[in-house]
Structure 1
Amino acid sequence: MRPTPIPPQPGQESVWDYPRPPRLEPVHKRIQIVFNEVTIVDTVKAMRVLETSHPPTYYIPPDDIGQHYLIPSNRSTFCEWKGQGSYYSVKVGEKIAVDVAWYYSSPTPNFQAIENYVAFYAAPMDACYVDGEKVIPQPGQFYGGWITSDVVGPFKGETGSWGW
C-alpha cells in the first residue's frame, strides 16, 4: 500500500514524484563529505539518481575524491537498474569505515554517465553536505539516499515501508 505523500512546499521536491525506473541527472550544488575531520570529497560536478520513494543518491566523480582514502573491498551487490556494484572502505588516519562507498565500473547503458563515480552512505561519515546543508541519512541500513530540507517523503526505509 502506497503511503500518503507529504505535499512539497515551494522549492521542495517530493520523492513520490521521482520516476521508476530511476532517472540520472547532473547536480550543480556543492557536495562535501567529511570523515575523521578530513574533507574527502568536494565537488560541484556530482550526479544524482532519483527513484520513487527514495531521497536522492549522489554519485561523485573520481577526480573530486581523495582517492588515497579509498580501499577496494571484496563486497559486491547487484542493482536491477545500474548493474553490478563494487565497494570501497574509507580510511583516514587510523579511522576506517568498512564498505561505505560503492560504484559501478560497467553500469547499464542508462547509467553510463556514473561509470566509476562513487556514492557514499551518509551515516558512517562525520558529515555530508549539499550546498552547505548537513544531510540526514536515508532510514534503513541498505539505502544510500541523502535527505535535505528540499526533499519530502515519506521515505523508503522508514518503519513499515517494506510493503511499498
Structure 2
Amino acid sequence: MKAVLAGTVIAEADESDLIRIEGNWYFPPASVTPGVLIESPTPYTCPWKGECQYWSVKTGDEVHVDQAWSYPHPYPSAFDRVGKDFSGYVAFAPGVEVSP
C-alpha cells in the first residue's frame, strides 16, 4: 500500500503490515518516508484511543497542515478493541491517496 500526496510517496508498506481502524489505514512508523512529517500543535484526544499527535506533511516546498495523525501512547484498552498495538502508527487525511 502507498500513501501519496501531491505526487509524492509519503509512506509505503505491505497491506499485511498496516492496521485498519475506523476506515483508516495506519502505516507502521518505519514505512513513512523520512523527513516528510512535521509535528503539529493541533490538540485532539480520542475518547477510546487516547491522545493524538497530528502531523503536517512536507512535499517538496509545500507543507500540508494536519494531513496525518498517530497515537504515540494509546490507552491500553484500545489494544484490546483493535486487536493489535498501534502505537506510533500513522494514518492520513482524506486528501492523501492511499491505494494498493
**TM-score band, normalised by the shorter chain?**
0.7 to 0.9
Residue 91 of structure 1 corresponds to 58
Q: Which amino acid aligns with 1:128?
A: V
Q: Give unpaired runs (5+ residues) of structure 1.
A: 1-30, 51-55, 132-164
* TM-score, L = length of structure 1: 0.53
Q: State how far apart, in whole Å, the 1-side matches of 2:34 and 2:91 are.
A: 13
In the TM superposition, residue 108 of structure 1 has moved relative to its aligned partner by 0.8
Equivalent residue in structure 2 for 1:116, among 58, 63, 88: 88
- 1:144-163 correspondence runs (5 A): none
Deviations 1:90-109, CA, capped at 9 Å, x for gaps: 01111211011111111011
Work out the percentage of aligned pairs sharing the same amino acid. 31
Flag the structure with more relative contact order, 1 or 2, with Cα contacts below 8 A and sequence separation at least 6.
2
What stretches of structure 2 of length at least 5 have no aligned partner? Answer: 80-84
- My pick for the range that moved more, 31-40 or 60-69, is 31-40
Using the alignment, how far apart are the partners of 1:77 and 1:92 within structure 2? 24
TM-score (norm 2): 0.84
List structure 1 segments (4+ residues) > 4 angstroms apart after TM superposition: none
Counterparts of 1:42 and 1:110, CA distance in 2? 28
1:48 is matched with 20
1:119-144 superposed Cα distances (whole Å, 9 cap, x missing partner): 10022x3x221x3xxxxxxxxxxxxx
